[in-house]
């Protein structure tokens, strides 16, 4: 990867700021150099280190390159997230995202800029491949944090975004048709049975491998810290597969799917959004970072809170543990980071990019097994 800051460059940058040469001798007229306070880090869910949309870089690689060029941290990670949103192979996000129960792709996103203490989001927006950029436009051009539905689409059109009639791909439409065939929407027994049946059919398709976990609860989250300590975050999703039209999960909600405190850290999430919404887990994790917990310990504490507050029988396995998965990705102002997951099965890794390049790091599980065993 080009334009990567390495350790030697960090040392030289610090030396230049105090007027020292490469060998340590003093010199005059030293250039005005900002001493990096932390080595840049970009973290994401697995999609951020997997999909390239036909290019050569993943989300975390693109974001890291731009950060080390001196770009604003939020702009850098948005450019990375756009790769995932535009990739039709990632059917949990953006173009080719999994549609709702009516076969319509509705998207959610939010972004937070730590240094500016600003945020923006959109919910249930249709026809825009990159809802993360509309979320940024809400942040920059309105006095609001969240626009939803038709109003969000109208705002995007007014801001010059291209509005498309349909964001489905042949693959996502085929999956939706299979779900429709199995659920047979013409037979409504009662609301409780209908909701339970639709969810059960979706889980069966998940178990059969007709759709994978990352697309069933598909989301991309990307958080980063720049060399000056600037922290920002972005989350984008098509939400729960075949959801009730208008359903909005945690992704566009500040404190749930994403939270950034500029001097403390950031946390984002993928998985069952309703659980994250109820617990405002991203906010909880960042507050744990404020108390001095390491990102791994802060994240596991957030998962324990979700587990403690999940008591409805329909959401529990036979042993009383949650019957769903959720993952949290956190970093602090020191540049320390971690990814944690409710269960050890399913997705077991997340994306990281540092001066040493991009890699898939291991998610730390709270529980062994899987949400369905």
User: Which tens digits make up the pLDDT trace of 328-365?
Assistant: 999 999 999 999 999 998 889 999 999 999 999 999 99
Domain-embedded: residue 57: yes
Q: Is there a domain that residue 187 lies in?
A: no
The answer as to whether 192 is a domain residue is: no
**Average of per-residue pLDDT values in the chain:** 87
Q: Is residue 178 part of a domain?
A: no
pLDDT tens figures, 256-292: 999 999 999 999 999 999 999 999 999 999 999 999 9
- Tell me: do 257 and 121 sit in the same domain: yes
pLDDT over 70 at 13, yes or no: no
Are 146 and 104 within one domain? yes
Residue 93 and residue 119 share a domain: yes
Q: What is the mean pLDDT of residues 133-149?
A: 98
The answer for 230, left when phi > 0, alpha when psi is -120 to 50, beta otherwise, is beta
> Among 138, 133, 141, which residue's Cα sits nearest to residue 162?
133
Whether 29 and 53 map to the same domain: the answer is: no
Residue 161 shares a structural domain with residue 85: yes
Q: How far apart are CA 223 and CA 116, in angstroms?
A: 15
24, 69: one domain: no
Can you tell me the mean pLDDT for 29-58? Answer: 83
Hey, what's the torsion of the CAs at 24, 28, 31, 34, to 10 degrees? 50
Does 104 map to a domain?
yes
Segment 12-16 shows an average pLDDT of: 42
Kindly report which listed range (68-77, 106-115, 131-140, 171-180) carries the lowest average pLDDT score. 171-180
> 183 lies in a domain?
no
Whether residue 30 is found in the same domain as residue 56:
no
Q: Does 56 map to a domain?
A: yes
Same domain assignment for residues 1 and 93: no
Whichever domain contains 123, its CATH number is: 3.60.20.30
Say whether both 125 and 58 belong to one domain: yes
Q: Are residues 229 and 154 in the same domain?
A: yes
The neighbouring-strand residues paired with 147 are: 122
Number of residues that this document lists for the chain: 373
* 131-141 and 149-158 helices, crossing angle to 10°: 80
225: containing domain: 41-170+209-367
Q: What is the pLDDT of residue 203?
A: 62
Please state, for a pLDDT cut of 70, what percent of the chain lies above it.
81
- Torsional class of 294: left (φ above 0), alpha (ψ -120 to 50), beta (otherwise): beta
Domain count, the chain: 2
Q: Among candidates 232, 180, 285, 241, which has minimal Cα distance to 71?
A: 232
Same domain, 3 and 46: no
Is 278 contained in some domain? Answer: yes
Is residue 109 domain-shared with residue 228, that is, in the same domain? yes
């Amino acid at each position: 990867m080009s334009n990567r800051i390495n350790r030697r460059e960090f040392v030289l940058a610090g030396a230049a700021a105090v007027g020292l040469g490469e060998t340590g001798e003093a010199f005059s007229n030293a250039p005005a150099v900002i001493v990096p306070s932390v080595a840049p880090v970009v973290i994401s869910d697995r999609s951020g280190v997997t999909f390239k949309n036909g290019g050569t870089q993943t989300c975390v690689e693109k974001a890291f390159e731009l950060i080390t060029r001196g770009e604003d941290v939020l702009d850098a990670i948005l450019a990375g997230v756009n790769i995932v949103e535009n990739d039709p192979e990632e059917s949990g996000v953006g173009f080719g995202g999994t549609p709702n129960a009516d076969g319509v792709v509705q998207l959610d996103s939010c972004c937070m800029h730590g240094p500016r203490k600003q945020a923006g989001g959109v919910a249930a927006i249709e026809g825009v491949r990159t809802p993360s950029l509309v979320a940024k436009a809400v942040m920059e051009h309105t006095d609001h944090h969240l626009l939803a539905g038709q109003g969000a689409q109208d705002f995007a059109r007014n801001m010059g975004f291209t509005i498309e009639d349909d964001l489905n791909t042949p693959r996502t439409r085929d999956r939706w048709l299979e779900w429709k065939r199995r659920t047979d929407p013409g037979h409504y027994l009662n609301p409780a049975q209908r909701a339970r049946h639709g969810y059960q059919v979706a889980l069966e398709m998940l178990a059969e491998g007709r759709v994978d976990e990352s697309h069933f609860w598909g989301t991309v989250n990307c958080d980063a810290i720049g060399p000056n300590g600037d922290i920002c975050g972005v989350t984008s999703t098509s939400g729960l597969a075949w959801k009730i039209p208008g359903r909005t999960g945690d992704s566009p909600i500040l404190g749930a799917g994403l939270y950034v405190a500029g001097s403390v850290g950031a946390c984002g999430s993928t998985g069952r959004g309703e659980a994250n919404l109820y617990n405002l887990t991203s906010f909880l994790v960042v507050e744990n970072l404020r108390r001095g917990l390491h990102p791994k310990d802060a994240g596991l504490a957030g998962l324990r809170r979700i587990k403690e507050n999940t008591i409805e029988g329909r959401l529990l396995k036979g042993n009383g543990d949650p019957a769903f998965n959720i993952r949290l990705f956190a970093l602090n102002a020191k540049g320390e980071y971690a990814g944690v997951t409710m269960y050890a099965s399913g997705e077991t890794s997340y994306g990281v990019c540092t001066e040493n390049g991009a890699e898939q790091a291991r998610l730390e599980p709270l529980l062994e097994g899987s949400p369905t065993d």
